[in-house]
Chains A and B, each alone.
Chain A
Amino acid sequence: MVKADLINSLYVFILAAFIGFEVIRRVSPLLHTPLMSLTNALDAIAVVGAIILAGEHKSTLATVLGTVAIVAATSNAVGGFIITDRMLKMFKSSRTQKP
């Protein structure tokens, strides 16, 4: 890791954290459970790291750990998006609801 990468990464981290705070502060408490399941699903983007690790095949250990990591992250992405959507589908306003 060169120094420039580190500084760039720090910039990205700090800016993203700020955006995160500002955006998430506005999420209604009503939706805090879907918020948690959605951020969890987004976090599964770690799968890209695991894909490169397993795909590069630099060592058997790396491939094995990478493959298990892909399974863990993919199940989070798939499961997280499904359940978030299922929850959000249930939230209906009394105005749109049939009597």
Chain B
Amino acid sequence: MIPGSEYVIEITYIVAAVLFILALKWLSSPVTARRGVWAGEAGMVLAVAGTLLYHGIVDYKWLAVGLVLGAIIGVPLGNVGMTAVPQRTALSHAFGALCVTLVGTAEFYLRAPNVPPFMMSVLSLEVILGGLTVTGSLMAAGKLQEILPQRPITYKGQNFVNLAMLAIAVAIAVRLVLHPEAMVLYPFMVGIALVFGVMMIVPIGGADMPTVISLLNSYAGLSAAAMGFVLNSKLLIVAGSLDGASGFILSVNMSKAMNRSFTNVLFGAFGQVQTSSAAAVEARPVHSATPEEAAAILSAANKVVIVPGYGMAVAQAQHKVRELYDLLTKKGVDVKFGIHPVAGRMPGHMNVLLAEADIPYDKLMDMDEANPDFPQTDVALVIGANDVTNPAARSDAGSPIYGMPILDVDKARTVMVIKRSMNPGFAGIDNPLYYLDNTLMLFGDAKAFVGSIVRELSGGGGHG
């Protein structure tokens, strides 16, 4: 061993921890954000290089295999299309948690039966959180990729079954803390955590994904921090708690944006409320408009706010929306975007898609910025968003989404809604917005309809 190398390793870890914190600090503004990525990369490379100096390493062969293979898998995962980012993120939560769970398991079998009680407690926390995050995230990724059905699947006694499973896993953990020699129990603890992860996501529907992804993010971070306790690695504790804190903050944001508690999201209520609201639906008249009419109204406007939702992502309409934005801006129309925190399938999803389409980020407003603007807005154009614009959330105490903060598009002079049909959205909740006198329904595929408006606008370009 090279003398002093243990200090070198520790110093690389300290520098890495500082770089990680700076990375997140620089992410506070789009101007410095890329510097954040470089800081993170530098910290990672430094810490890995430092670790490779560790004197206890006797065999580098498998390390090389692992690092190279990981990089080979990582490159395509880093290059997926922007619409696939939610499922990629879910998948990476699964990978992170897999790493933690495997290391925890190996540590257990290396030390058992002589595991001190405190270490066994954190190790159990590590592998239970890790295990449920592995399968839970895989399920979430499957639903987002539409390999698995997106609809929430609920059955009688679901919450009881889930809670019972979690309780059994915890009971086994307690037993192992008191009697670590009962090694035969360990696989059951991990196994139950894995099954619990699946069962936890079964009742989750597409619109709940932003909250659930954030929550899984938080779990992945916390399990990594627990691994830091087991290995006595301060760097890992720092990285894990940063990740845990980030996931936690995002989960709280998402829950608030849906006016729901964590428990409410996890122990699914949306699947059940559907039935109660369906009865109120009746055939009411709506006003609809053609692309020509829509184009005329848009070009006569001074101020337009576009409200995108998951429907825009599904239709891949963001590039057509960009063309619309360009044409209207050229005509002197002030065009901005109003983005609800839970629009799409993960936090910030819409911003990334619009940025991909080259829409400047200073035109993207979050809910608090957008809402005071709507009363002065000539046209609010809703593309593929539904529940987040539903005024029943403000006015109808009987509505399942009552109390949820929404984008007040109905306060704009004219509301135009691009929608495939009058079918209600995810939660099966009727949207009174569509029957308002100032609302025009534009029926069709988001991409095709925006395309037709763009053709109208560029064809008759002279007036404006």
| Partner pick for B70 among A48, A55, A63, A72, CB 8 A cutoff | A72
A13 to B48, CA, bound (A): 21
A78 to B76, CA, bound (A): 9
Decide yes or no: A53 and B236 within 8 Å by CB, A20-B244, A33-B347, A45-B47 being known contacts.
Answer: no
Min Cβ gap B45→A in Å is 9
The interface size of chain B toward A, counting residues with CB under 8 Å, comes to 116
Q: Mark A20-32, 1 if CB is under 8 A from B, else 0.
A: 1101111111111
Chain B residues positioned under 8 Å from A69 (CB to CB): 66, 98-100, 102-103, 106
Chain B residues positioned under 8 Å from A79 (CB to CB): 73-78, 88, 92
Q: Does B414 contact A (CB under 8 A)?
A: no
The segment from B138-146, B172-180, B223-231, B404-412 that touches chain A is: B223-231
Contact (Cβ within 8 A) B58 A57? yes
* Main SS at interface, chain B: helix
Residue of A nearest to B115 (CB): A1
Could you write out 12 A-B pairs with CB less than 8 Å apart? Answer: A20-B245, A30-B351, A34-B348, A36-B346, A39-B221, A45-B16, A48-B13, A54-B63, A69-B66, A69-B103, A72-B99, A79-B73
| Partner pick for A67 among B33, B65, B366, CB 8 A cutoff | B65
The segment from B18-26, B388-396, B428-436 that touches chain A is: B18-26
Residue of B nearest to A55 (CB): B57
Contact (Cβ within 8 A) A92 B246? no
Chain B residues positioned under 8 Å from A32 (CB to CB): 250, 253, 346-348, 351
A9 to B235, CA, bound (A): 10
Min Cβ gap B349→A in Å is 6
Decide yes or no: A43 and B249 within 8 Å by CB, A9-B234, A75-B74, A91-B361 being known contacts.
Answer: no
A99 to B217, CA, bound (A): 39
Q: Which of A7-66 contact B (CB under 8 A)?
A: 8-9, 12-13, 16-17, 19-21, 23-59, 61-63, 65-66
Give the interface of A toward B (CB within 8 A).
Answer: 1, 5-6, 8-9, 12-13, 16-17, 19-21, 23-59, 61-63, 65-95, 97
Give the interface of B toward A (CB within 8 A).
Answer: 13, 16-17, 20-21, 23-25, 27-31, 33-34, 36-37, 40-41, 43-44, 47-48, 51-52, 54, 56-60, 62-63, 65-67, 69-71, 73-80, 82, 85, 88-89, 92-93, 95-96, 98-100, 102-103, 105-107, 109-110, 116, 118-119, 213-214, 217, 220-221, 224-225, 227-247, 249-250, 253, 339, 341, 346-349, 351-352, 355-356, 358, 360-364, 366
Chain A residues positioned under 8 Å from B82 (CB to CB): 87, 90
Most interface-central of A5, A27, A68, A85 (chain B CB within 10 A): A27
| Partner pick for B74 among A1, A25, A74, CB 8 A cutoff | A74
Contact (Cβ within 8 A) B74 A62? no
Contact (Cβ within 8 A) B89 A29? no
| Partner pick for A29 among B41, B77, B341, B346, CB 8 A cutoff | B341
Decide yes or no: A86 and B79 within 8 Å by CB, A9-B234, A52-B56 being known contacts.
Answer: yes
Most interface-central of A29, A51, A72, A93 (chain B CB within 10 A): A72
Min Cβ gap B252→A in Å is 10
| Partner pick for B40 among A58, A75, A81, CB 8 A cutoff | A81
Contact (Cβ within 8 A) B27 A75? no
Contact (Cβ within 8 A) B237 A36? no
Chain B residues positioned under 8 Å from A56 (CB to CB): 56-58
Decide yes or no: A36 and B245 within 8 Å by CB, A1-B119, A46-B236, A48-B233 being known contacts.
Answer: no
A66 to B21, CA, bound (A): 27
Chain A residues positioned under 8 Å from B349 (CB to CB): 33
| Partner pick for A47 among B48, B60, B229, B355, CB 8 A cutoff | B48
| Partner pick for A36 among B43, B54, B58, B347, CB 8 A cutoff | B347
Residue of A nearest to B116 (CB): A1
Contact (Cβ within 8 A) A78 B71? yes
Min Cβ gap A93→B in Å is 5
Most interface-central of B70, B253, B363 (chain A CB within 10 A): B70
Residue of B nearest to A81 (CB): B41
Contact (Cβ within 8 A) B28 A78? no
Decide yes or no: A42 and B33 within 8 Å by CB, A32-B250, A33-B349, A55-B63 being known contacts.
Answer: no
Contact (Cβ within 8 A) A93 B99? no
| Partner pick for A85 among B37, B62, B116, B243, CB 8 A cutoff | B37
Decide yes or no: A53 and B106 within 8 Å by CB, A43-B220, A88-B37 being known contacts.
Answer: yes
Chain A residues positioned under 8 Å from B93 (CB to CB): 40
A73 to B66, CA, bound (A): 9
Chain B residues positioned under 8 Å from A95 (CB to CB): 360, 362
Contact (Cβ within 8 A) A31 B16? no
The list of the 8 closest CB pairs from A to B, nearest first, reads A74-B70, A82-B78, A78-B74, A70-B66, A20-B245, A32-B348, A55-B57, A79-B77
